[in-house]
Amino acid sequence: MIRYGSSDFDKVPWPGERNAIIKMSLSNVQEFDETFNRNLQECKWEPHPLYSVFTQYDREYYLERRAAFLHKYRCLYAVSKTISPKTIIELGTSAGASADAYLSASPKATYIGFDIFAENGDRDDSPPWKPDEIARKLFKARGFKDYQLIRIDLRALDRLPRRADFVVVDAGHDFDSEYSDLRLALTAEPVFILVDDSGAEAKPAIEKFISEDLKGRLAYTFPINYIGGGLVLKLVA
């Protein structure tokens, strides 16, 4: 287990009271629903022309479903705009496509992304696809400066290194990974958790997390209808 005082974690301060999590409205699901839908309707966000799922090594899959994925990333934008977080932690950053949506909607937020950032060397062409390099190029192109990318296996963590009002869970979706990541997300003391790809595979882990780990701590859930599905969990303050 990695604990504080080692590795990349030294560089991630736990904010003190001054930066403590802001009190948010969105106290009921109707309010979240209305704000989210307004933000989604007004969303003009477009994927970056050079760095997005539509340009990456496996782009054919995304290009064949372009409208569905554009809708998905705009939903992610609208969630971030709705919450307007101070700090975003994402478990499973990959090449930063979703981070682009979250940060475009909340450009003042601090972003910390965790991933193993495995290179893809299976392609015939070269050089290998390096997700963290792409993410850095994307963030530079977008002008995002307040971010950290942490290369780590999430299973080496017993807690996250700082508080975050918004934590996104989008790493492994098998039962053990999903459940462990949801529990890990809680250690940042979030106000909102977004479970991306919350559909079929992730469902049992989400249900166990809600019934066993969020007992008495869940204010509401807000499912979002996009490819793969998303689920917002609002925790009680």
Ligand X SMILES: C[S@@+](CC[C@H](N)C(=O)[O-])C[C@H]1O[C@@H](n2cnc3c(N)ncnc32)[C@H](O)[C@@H]1O
Q: From the CB of 17, what's the least distance to ligand X, in Å?
A: 31
Closest contact distance (angstroms) between CB of 221 and ligand X is 20
Among 12, 29, 116, 235, binds ligand X (CB under 6 A): 116
Least distance to ligand X, CB of residue 124, Å: 21
104 binds ligand X (CB under 6 A): no
Q: Does 97 bind ligand X (CB under 6 A)?
A: yes
Q: How many residues bind ligand X (CB under 6 A)?
A: 16
Query: Contact with ligand X (CB under 6 A): which of 20, 50, 68, 118?
Result: 118
Token code pair at residue 41: 């309707």
Give the gyration radius of the chain's Cα atoms. 17
48-55 contacts at long range (C-beta below 8 A, 24 or more positions apart): 48/100, 48/138, 48/141, 48/142, 50/137, 50/138, 50/141, 51/95, 51/96, 51/97, 51/100, 51/134, 51/135, 51/137, 51/138, 51/141, 52/97, 52/100, 52/138, 53/95, 53/97
Per DSSP, 86 falls in state: S
Q: Which stretch binds ligand X (CB under 6 A): 8-16, 29-37, 91-99, 214-222?
A: 91-99
Contact call for residue 94 and ligand X (CB under 6 A): yes
Tell which one of 103, 112, 171, 191 touches ligand X (CB under 6 A).
171
Query: H/E element holding 165?
Result: none
82 binds ligand X (CB under 6 A): no
The binding track of 135-164 with respect to ligand X, each residue x by CB under 6 A or -, is ------------------xxx---------
**Closest distance to ligand X from the beta carbon of 28 (Å):** 28
The answer to the question of residue 231 lying near ligand X (CB under 6 A) is no
Interatomic CA distance for residues 51 and 75, integer angstroms: 19
By the rule CB under 6 A, 182 interacts with ligand X? no
Q: Are 175 and 204 in contact (CB under 8 A)?
A: yes
Residues that bind ligand X (CB under 6 A): 92-94, 97-98, 114-116, 118, 153-155, 170-172, 177
